[in-house]
Structure 1
Amino acid sequence: MFGYIRTDTPYLYIKDQMLYRAMYCGVCKGISASCGQCARMGLTYDVTFFSVILHNIAGEDVTVEKQHCLTHVLRKKPMACVDDMTKKLGALNTALVYYKYTDDIKDGDRGRGKRLWFVSGHKRAAREYPEIERIVRDNLAAQEKTEKAGADSLDRAADASANMIAEISDYLLGDKKTPFTHNLFYAVGKWIYLIDALDDYDKDKKKGAYNPFVLAFKCEDKCELMRRRKEEVEFAFHSLFFDIRENLSKIKFHFNRDLSDNILLRGLPAETERIMRSAPCKACRDAPPQTARQAKKENK
């Protein structure tokens, strides 16, 4: 459930692109500071987004300096300096990656070797930031319980993961949290869970693994889902985008919000469209390009 939150680069100002890259490097440095060097291998764009928006809402200015790092030894790069927020986000990143590989192991996928890289960092993060560990652990346990119960409602299936992101935002924002920030991050967390489930539709269907879209719509593959139930799937995501816009408009930002708006208002819809479009059926894949449209009609 990582890697889906991205910028919509063609509509991103150069200044914001530079800031985004600096924040990405800053989170990497934050992971190193709170969890050690090995844990940096799990760096995600999702947590970079959290760093961008949480610093802004909390009113914590970010200092960007040119620095060296392990991957840029010879030439310095602009990087956001590590602060308390970044260290906490580093701990969050490590906890999420650790439990992600733990879940993969439970599902029978290969993850033991990869998880070893994060065992030490996770222990350190859990010791230094027990509240982050509790929020992640408890909500992922609730998520597992929901999935084992076979919930076929998209809202019920995504609730625990959405609540985890909302609780994390409450903890990190402290006295700057509001009902609007809570609801915003709840919607973002719900989007992360559902877009990951939609992306994994064919894989989960083949393995017989839990997937709320499979249970709710009972289509043979994602191509059929998009062909027959596309409007219902779009409605689920458009409802989330409405919630995001409504709550975002009621939140006070202390600095320029162009980067946050680009990610939330353009990046998430663009990524949703990309996932929905990446659903070629077998007939379309196997057919020559000039007959692909006809093959799709024959497959109906």
Structure 2
Amino acid sequence: MFGYVRPFKGEMLVKEYDAYKGVYCQLCRALGKYYGFPMRLTLSYDCTLYAMLALNQRDADVKAEKKRCCCNPMKKCTYVCPANEDVFAEEAFHKAAALSIIMTVHKLRDTAADEDGLKAFGARVLRLFARRAMKKASNDYPFMADAVQKMMDDQADAEHAKEISIDRCSAPTAEMLQTICAELGSNAGEKAVLSEVGYFLGRWIYIMDAADDLTDDLLQQKFNPFIQKLGLESSRGLHLLPEERKRADEECNAVLNGSLARLLPAVNLLPSGKFTRILENIFEKGLPEMQREILFLHIKKEKRHD
């Protein structure tokens, strides 16, 4: 996943943001516990959301625990960690950690194939470094490894098809998250709701990433499904004119809003739990705010803050 799924801090209570950061920090600790200290570098906001979905689905028993930061001993963190030996809470963090490893290694494989020079070399080195953790994560949760591998294979097919479409290109990511989220349900009804949430969240993430990268992909003459959709083939290697950029941003926003319109009704069917308000903030406010920052404020990835 790509780091786009974050809460909108301005609309959160202090205790809600503290709880969110507590889950984030506990996921960091779980990455170290299950896959080794260096694997904490794979920590992401996207997998934090997955951990919260898992915890909320079973209303897992958790507690706040203040301890020194695993990565910076000079700093104290509040961890939201399993309480009373709750196996569902423990497994939620274990699954989120495994997903973080698997997604990161596949992203490195993608970068090594698509980039040149130092970027490609660095991705290959990091991938080798994470090989043991990847093997363990895949053995811990084979359904995740299979779903992500299928996503990568289907993505390659979609990007090399004769006819390029947003629907086909976004489907692999959507189907991958659909599979992984649906697994959290304990009955057919829960699985149906989680499946819908996962599918349209995955679709939104892929489209958001494509929209974010559009101008760079045009300049560097890389693949992007919006190039064909918006008829920008003649602009490869060039900067978009202001009116072209405005039209592209508006079109991307409309496509993203279509995914949100299908995602939010499913979110409303999720069970109530300790993290319900935080999840609602992420889906109802965080995702639209991310669209605003990228498409209308033109804030690039490296300049975004919590």
- Is TM more than 0.5 here? yes
Could you tell me which amino acid in structure 2 is paired with residue 129 of structure 1?
Y
Pick the aligned partner of 1:216 from 221, 229, 233. Answer: 229
- What is residue 59 of structure 2 aligned with on the other side? 59
Cα distance, 1:260 vs structure 2? 0.6
Q: Provide the C-alpha distance between the structure 2 equivalents of 1:247 and 1:91, rounded to a whole number of angstroms.
A: 25
- What is residue 265 of structure 1 aligned with on the other side? 284
Q: Provide the C-alpha distance between the structure 2 equivalents of 1:278 and 1:114, rounded to a whole number of angstroms.
A: 33
CA deviations on 1:36-88 (whole Å, 9 max, x unpaired) are 21111111011111112221123223222122343232443211226111111
- What is residue 164 of structure 2 aligned with on the other side? 152
Q: Provide the C-alpha distance between the structure 2 equivalents of 1:205 and 1:75, rounded to a whole number of angstroms.
A: 43
Cα distance, 1:96 vs structure 2? 0.3
Q: Provide the C-alpha distance between the structure 2 equivalents of 1:234 and 1:36, rounded to a whole number of angstroms.
A: 40
Q: Match of 1:72, SS?
A: coil
- Stretches of structure 2 that go unaligned for 5 or more consecutive residues are 83-89, 300-306
Q: Percent identity?
A: 26
Q: Provide the C-alpha distance between the structure 1 equivalents of 2:297 and 2:130, rounded to a whole number of angstroms.
A: 32
Cα distance, 1:208 vs structure 2? 2.2
Could you tell me which amino acid in structure 2 is paired with residue 126 of structure 1?
S
1:116–1:174 Cα change, 3 Å: farther
- What is residue 102 of structure 2 aligned with on the other side? 95
Which residues of 2 match residues 33-72 of structure 1 at below 5 A? 33-72=33-72
- What is residue 290 of structure 1 aligned with on the other side? none
Q: Provide the C-alpha distance between the structure 2 equivalents of 1:224 and 1:106, rounded to a whole number of angstroms.
A: 33
Contact 2:211-2:252 within 8 A present in 1 as well:
no
Q: Match of 1:183, SS?
A: helix
Contact 1:85-1:172 within 8 A present in 2 as well:
no
| TM-score scaled by length of structure 1 | 0.86
Q: Match of 1:77, SS?
A: strand
| TM-score scaled by length of structure 2 | 0.85
- What is residue 116 of structure 1 aligned with on the other side? 128
- What is residue 113 of structure 2 aligned with on the other side? 106
Instruction: Indicate yes or no: 2:264 matched with 1:245.
Output: yes
Cα distance, 1:212 vs structure 2? 0.7
Cα distance, 1:204 vs structure 2? 1.4
Pick the aligned partner of 1:197 from 200, 206, 210. Answer: 210
Instruction: Indicate yes or no: 2:252 matched with 1:233.
Output: yes
Cα distance, 1:198 vs structure 2? 0.7
- What is residue 187 of structure 1 aligned with on the other side? 200
Corresponding residue pairs, total? 280
Q: Provide the C-alpha distance between the structure 2 equivalents of 1:42 and 1:240, rounded to a whole number of angstroms.
A: 27
- Stretches of structure 1 that go unaligned for 5 or more consecutive residues are 281-300
Contact 1:38-1:117 within 8 A present in 2 as well:
no
Pick the aligned partner of 2:174 from 150, 153, 162. Answer: 162
Cα distance, 1:210 vs structure 2? 1.4
CA deviations on 1:192-241 (whole Å, 9 max, x unpaired) are 11111111112212222211111111233565544234443222111111
Q: Provide the C-alpha distance between the structure 1 equivalents of 2:298 and 2:64, rounded to a whole number of angstroms.
A: 41
Could you tell me which amino acid in structure 1 is paired with residue 115 of structure 2?
G
Could you tell me which amino acid in structure 1 is paired with residue 191 of structure 2?
T
Q: Provide the C-alpha distance between the structure 2 equivalents of 1:218 and 1:48, rounded to a whole number of angstroms.
A: 37
- What is residue 288 of structure 1 aligned with on the other side? none
Contact 2:26-2:79 within 8 A present in 1 as well:
yes
Contact 1:64-1:80 within 8 A present in 2 as well:
yes
1:46–1:113 Cα change, 3 Å: same
Which residues of 2 match residues 255-294 of structure 1 at below 5 A? 255-279=274-298
Query: What's the C-alpha RMSD, in Å, of the aligned pairs?
Result: 2.1
Instruction: Indicate yes or no: 2:191 matched with 1:178.
Output: yes
1:39–1:210 Cα change, 3 Å: same
1:140–1:62 Cα change, 3 Å: farther
Bigger mean CA offset, 158-167 vs 122-131: 122-131
Q: Provide the C-alpha distance between the structure 2 equivalents of 1:210 and 1:228, rounded to a whole number of angstroms.
A: 19
Contact 1:139-1:164 within 8 A present in 2 as well:
yes
